[in-house]
Amino acid sequence: MKQLIRNVYCVGRNYRLHAEELGNSVPSEPMIFMKPSHAIVPMDGSTIALPGGRGEVHYEAELVLRIARDYRPGMAVDELVDVMAFGIDFTLRDVQNKLKDKGHPWTAAKAFLNSAPLTPYTVFPGAADTAAEDFELRKNGEVVQRGNIGNMIFPLQEIVDYIAENYGLGEGDLIFTGTPEGVGPVATGDQLELLYGGRALGSCTVQLGSSSSAR
Ligand code: ZN
């Protein structure tokens, strides 16, 4: 998966039950934040170092789109996206709650190194057909999140149009499309595995510790 990664966009609160489980209102337009490309790390079975001593680190399993070409108005998602993956939008939840209270940006809670593990890419079946199968996150073999793209508040077409019109969208950009309900904390040694349609796409083991060390 050593393809160029440019901008990494993320959609917040894109599933109603997830917005509600965190006590957040459901947004009236897509809520976009970003991670640096340095946050991306392959979900290839290896151990991933995440910040320790900064409160709870939550997993958020998400469908990730890879943009194949520069956006032009009127383009359909199916023309724009060639492959997809699944990823985890790791979040320092306690840090995020403090930032929210202060009205500060989310960078410290969302954009840290290794905060975006990504499975290998798989064929994008088209926006309509992505909902034909559920995706799942398993923690130590137990299903902790199950989602379906059909339950998104803002569908894929609306997300790509919104991002392109406001921030720009081109080849090599990634979009983390939001997480369903069931988010929760990880501890050192936890094994996380992402599946789509029952098919395992990637896994990693978590190690909480220094916030600056690489894998
Ligand atoms: Zn997320």
How does pLDDT run along the chain (215 residues), one tens digit per residue?
457 899 999 999 999 998 899 888 888 999 999 999 999 999 999 999 999 999 999 999 999 999 999 999 999 999 999 999 999 999 999 999 999 999 999 999 999 999 999 999 999 999 999 999 999 999 999 999 999 999 999 999 999 999 999 999 999 999 999 999 999 999 999 999 999 999 999 999 999 995 444 43
> What pLDDT is stored for residue 102 in this prediction?
96
> What pLDDT is stored for residue 25 in this prediction?
87
Question: What is the distance in A from the centroid of ligand 1 to the CA of 39?
Answer: 13
> What pLDDT is stored for residue 32 in this prediction?
97
Question: What is the distance in A from the centroid of ligand 1 to the CA of 179?
Answer: 5
Q: What is the DSSP string of the chain?
A: -------EEEEES-BHHHHHHTTPPPPSS-EEEEE-GGGEEE-EEEEEEEE-SSS-EEE-EEEEEEE-S---TT--HHHHEEEEEEEE--EEHHHHHHHHHHT--SHHHH-STT-EEEPPPEE---TTGGGGS-EEEEETTEEEEEE-GGGBSS-HHHHHHHHHHHT---TT-EEE----S--EE--TT-EEEEEETTEEEEEEEEEEE-SS---
Question: What is the distance in A from the centroid of ligand 1 to the CA of 178?
Answer: 5
Question: What is the distance in A from the centroid of ligand 1 to the CA of 33?
Answer: 9
Question: What is the distance in A from the centroid of ligand 1 to the CA of 17?
Answer: 13
| pTM, rounded to two decimals | 0.94
> What pLDDT is stored for residue 68 in this prediction?
97
Question: What is the distance in A from the centroid of ligand 1 to the CA of 142?
Answer: 20
Question: What is the distance in A from the centroid of ligand 1 to the CA of 127?
Answer: 19
Question: What is the distance in A from the centroid of ligand 1 to the CA of 10?
Answer: 7
> What pLDDT is stored for residue 2 in this prediction?
56
Question: What is the distance in A from the centroid of ligand 1 to the CA of 12?
Answer: 5
Question: What is the distance in A from the centroid of ligand 1 to the CA of 163?
Answer: 16
> What pLDDT is stored for residue 3 in this prediction?
74
